[in-house]
Amino acid sequence: MLRNSFACLVFITFILSALTGCLKVEHPSPDAKSYAEPQAAEVVKTPPQTKEPAGDVIPETGLTEEEIAAGWIALFDGHSLSGWKPNNDVNWHVDEGVIKADKGEPGLLLTTSPFADYELKFEFKLTPETNSGIFLRTTFNPTDPSKDCYELNLCDQKTEFPTGSLVARSKIDKPLPVSSEWQTCEVNLEGSNIKAIINGKEVLNFNDTSKNLRKTGFIGLQKNEGAIEFRKIYLKPLRMSTIFNGVDLAGWNVVPGSQSTFEVVDGTIHVTAEKQGYLETEEIWGDFLFQATAKSNGDSLNSGYFFRAIKGSEKGMANGYEVQIHNGIKEGDRTKPENAGTGAIFRRTEARRVVANDHEWFTTTLSASGPHIAVWINGYQVTDWTDTRKPDENPRKGLRLEAGHISLQGHDPTTDLNFKDLKVSTLPADSP
């Protein structure tokens, strides 16, 4: 009996010890890691990207109504890299309304459209390690800044060409104070003269009298060394020639066979129609920038600007490329245009978003350079298209690079539009 009791006691003691051992918790030192805790992998956070605006929204470009009317366009829409193209594998990306880059070999992010004479304004941010720049009238892959471009240096490092200088062309007299805050820059290119104002102070006034004068080219953002950021990038074309005098239709002709009425009303060209008709310029253009302001006095009216068009006749009134005018949308979604949408190249592309409203003035900017065509509506780029078709005299059938007429369209009995402020500038022949 005692033996059995003792055996039971030993057994119970053994069980209790085992349980106590199992329940015992070891408290690691503050520097130690629990064996049961998995080792955390290093997390590389992707910066928050700026979202595409909802389909019922007109994106904010940051331009005022007065700036839009004056011809300013946004080269950066604030949420995407539409209208830009890199020339290497730099990690260009958009983060909360800012274009950023900090990795990759030196390279450029370039506009897909070339420009000749213009005002340019933008904001930039440097780090102490940054070596960057804004390339003006540049080729797509510049190798010599004294010939292939005008490189406005943005660099807080000690360098031969400090911020505000034109690399290999012109050095500013006194380096600017180093800053890691947002800085403003305004550049004016007109003919052979280039001026730059940084943070409100003129730092550059350069006149290129060399044999390497560049007349046109792309605009490029450079990532060389360190991190670089750009935002609020705007451009206003200069040397635009007026092609409507606001008084009469001098310089324009109604195309034979037209069944539309074109008349000057309150300094505008007013268009109504029974059937299609066209008002055509006497002058012709090949590579050019065009700007015009229009208003459709009805809902979802159809019209357009034709360009590089064959001279119109009764047999063919409008054989040209067409920048569509049609502000209709589907399902209340501005990313779903009716009939291609205002700013589309009709029968070739759709506008990425309908920006204009009926019964309101809106400004169209058209760039035609070789096979590349871009369109901005109220400063927002809606079309970025390259014609890859086989060449043909008629743009309706194929690629046309030859100069042609610009014309305004009367479409159907609902047509009721006004046009004003029609301007053109020719891109120089050495366009890249």
Mean pLDDT of 49-78: 94
| pLDDT value of position 8 | 39
Amino acid at 412: D
Question: For 91, which DSSP code?
Answer: -
pTM, two decimals, is 0.88
The share of the chain scoring above pLDDT 90, in percent, equals 83
Q: What does the buried/exposed string (b/e) look like for 269-279 if buried means 16 or more CB atoms within 10 Å of the residue's CB?
A: bbbbbeebbbb
Q: How confident is the model at residue 271 (pLDDT cuts 50, 70, 90)?
A: very high
Residue 20 has pLDDT above 70, yes or no: no
Using CA of residue 378, residue 70, residue 288, residue 396, what is the dihedral sign?
positive
Question: Which of 271, 272, 297, 269 lies closest to 360 in space, CA to CA?
Answer: 297
Q: Are 233 and 265 contacting, i.e. CB atoms less than 8 angstroms apart?
A: no
| pLDDT value of position 51 | 83
Q: Are 151 and 145 contacting, i.e. CB atoms less than 8 angstroms apart?
A: yes
Residue 322 has pLDDT above 60, yes or no: yes
d(CA 149, CA 139): 7
| pLDDT value of position 52 | 87
Q: How confident is the model at residue 58 (pLDDT cuts 50, 70, 90)?
A: very high
Residue 257 has pLDDT above 50, yes or no: yes
Mean pLDDT of 134-147: 97
Identify the three-state secondary structure at position 300.
coil
The model's pLDDT over 118-137, given as tens digits with 9 standing for 90+, comes to 999 999 999 988 999 999 99
Question: For 126, which DSSP code?
Answer: E
Q: What is the DSSP string of 3-19?
A: HHHHHHHHHHHHHHHHH
Mean pLDDT of 245-265: 98
| pLDDT value of position 16 | 40
Domains by residue range for the chain, with CATH:
75-237 (2.60.120.560), 242-426 (2.60.120.560)
- For 95-112, the three-class secondary structure string (H helix, E strand, C coil) is ECCEEEECCCCCEEEEEC
Identify the three-state secondary structure at position 340.
helix
